[in-house]
Amino acid sequence: MRSGKPVRERRRGVRRPLLVLAAAGAVSAAMAVLGLHSVGAPADQARRPAAEISPGGAPRAAGRQEAGVPASLAVRVPWEGGPAYYRRFAAPTAAGWTSPSFFPVGVWFESVITQADVDKDRAAGINTYVELTETTDMALVRRNGMSALTNLRLPGHGKETVGWLLDDEVDMWAKAGDAEWTGNHPGEGPLCVPESSGCGFTVLRRQRDRFPEGDGRLRYANYGKGVMMWEKDADAAAFVNRFTDVVSTDVYWYTSDSACLDGQNFLNIPAARCRRAANYGAVVDRQRELDALDGRLQPIYGFVEVGWPAENDTRAIQPYQVTGAVMSSLIHEARGIVYFNHNFGGPCHSQHVLREKCGEKVRPAVAEINRRIRALAPVLNTQSYVHRFGPGLDTMLKYHRGSYYVFAMVGRDASPGRRTFTLPRGVRAGRVEVLFENRTLPVDSRGRFTDSFAAEYSYHVYRITPS
């Protein structure tokens, strides 16, 4: 590796994601996509501003109806405010994150040593580094207009550093609790005092307190199967709500054997439904449910692998699965995407999958989905409307500059095939345009159109301009 320091080495609180099994309390979340029951009480000490939600996080009518939008679309999906959320932080504001044309697309734990490094990352559609090695040239990152969230104040850091990464998967290795933390991470010795206790909340408080309060930078943490599956609802909510301004959770459904096993044991997901793009959207749903409990919302990012993450797994993710996982995350209101960029398993080990030969198969698909995200950023950065288009569909509805945009996949429990969409009452159009596919579909007199989805990971994006 060019940085001279293996990424797999833990660096003052940040490690590569662990893939382990653990026993924990029952998981729950009120999201139909996984069929789980409602979540528990909200956590305290929230650090985020209020958003447009009603008690319990249920959607409510927007305060003002957009011009041209019919009354049938009076209900919006709760959100944190889109790009306007970042205005309260000086660093991301200065970096352009408040622009409707900016959508965070990050890569996990890279090194930036040469201009060629940045060129390759930008060609893949990356605009943000989520953790960087200490050997990184921060001036180079800055000159190229890239953003960074790091666990340390790296030498030469400046306006490119928009936030601080507190830690990774604390919910898995330290578990919920306020016990004393030894300062160790997995493999370094005892973690909590006493060893049988949980000290995850202590870990995050100590990590957060290393950085000056009110410095204009975000606080970010990534979680794992503790938040998604293992922890009791109240404890999972505490992880999500107490410490951060931006949050994500990684579960590698397409590649992790242990994720499928835990999915069966904790979520009653049959093995046949484990390796599906829809489960990545369900991870975002879980976080959004938990995040809403304190009456305040923060951006939630999707986390998707691009290779063969773990040594003990038996497969790499395929290009079409990457794009399906990303689109499912977006449909479920992810406000950013982070790619896990390391191969610790399989025949081709790499810590720079999107730059190196190991990623030559998946890189074009990643670059293309990121190109589409960039093109659609002004649409993605608007508040969604609530509308059910039809059975067997998983959709997101947006309205931007006189047109409606429908992001669609088949539902988690549905089979691929043909689906019929019914437009909202008051939306009249003779045809819909299928973006990125160079085709259109007719709309019948009842406001319906039909399209096909070849596989569980297939998606379409429709633009509907009322006639």
Structural domains in the chain plus CATH codes: 55-380 (3.20.20), 393-464 (2.60.40.1180)
pLDDT value of position 180:
98
Q: In percent, how much of the chain has pLDDT > 70?
A: 86
Q: Which residues contact 337 (CB under 8 A, 6 or more apart)?
A: 104, 105, 106, 301, 302, 303, 304, 326, 329, 330, 370, 373
pLDDT tens digits for range 269-328 = 999 999 999 999 999 999 999 999 999 999 999 999 999 999 999 999 999 999 999 999
Confidence class of residue 245 from pLDDT cuts 50, 70 and 90?
very high
Burial class of residue 32 (count of CB atoms within 10 Å of its CB; 0-12, 13-18, 19+): exposed
Mean pLDDT, residues 408-417? 94
Burial class of residue 313 (count of CB atoms within 10 Å of its CB; 0-12, 13-18, 19+): buried
From CA 237, how far away is CA 428, in angstroms rounded?
42
Q: In percent, how much of the chain has pLDDT > 90?
A: 85
User: 388 or 39: which carries more pLDDT confidence?
Assistant: 388
Confidence class of residue 66 from pLDDT cuts 50, 70 and 90?
confident
Average pLDDT in the chain:
89
DSSP assigned state of 114: S
pLDDT tens digits for range 177-219 = 999 999 999 999 999 999 999 999 999 999 999 999 999 999 9
Confidence class of residue 441 from pLDDT cuts 50, 70 and 90?
very high
- pTM given for the model: 0.89
Q: Which residues contact 466 (CB under 8 A, 6 or more apart)?
A: 68, 402, 403, 404, 427, 428, 429
Take residue 227 and report the two structure tokens written for it: 């938040």
Residue 15 has pLDDT above 50, yes or no: no
pLDDT value of position 67:
84
Residue 9 has pLDDT above 50, yes or no: no
From CA 395, how far away is CA 385, in angstroms rounded?
10
- As a dihedral over the C-alpha atoms of residue 167, residue 243, residue 55, residue 394, rounded to 10 degrees, the angle is -20
pLDDT value of position 65:
77
Confidence class of residue 44 from pLDDT cuts 50, 70 and 90?
very low
pLDDT value of position 400:
97
In 3-state terms, what secondary structure has residue 257? helix
Mean pLDDT, residues 38-51? 35
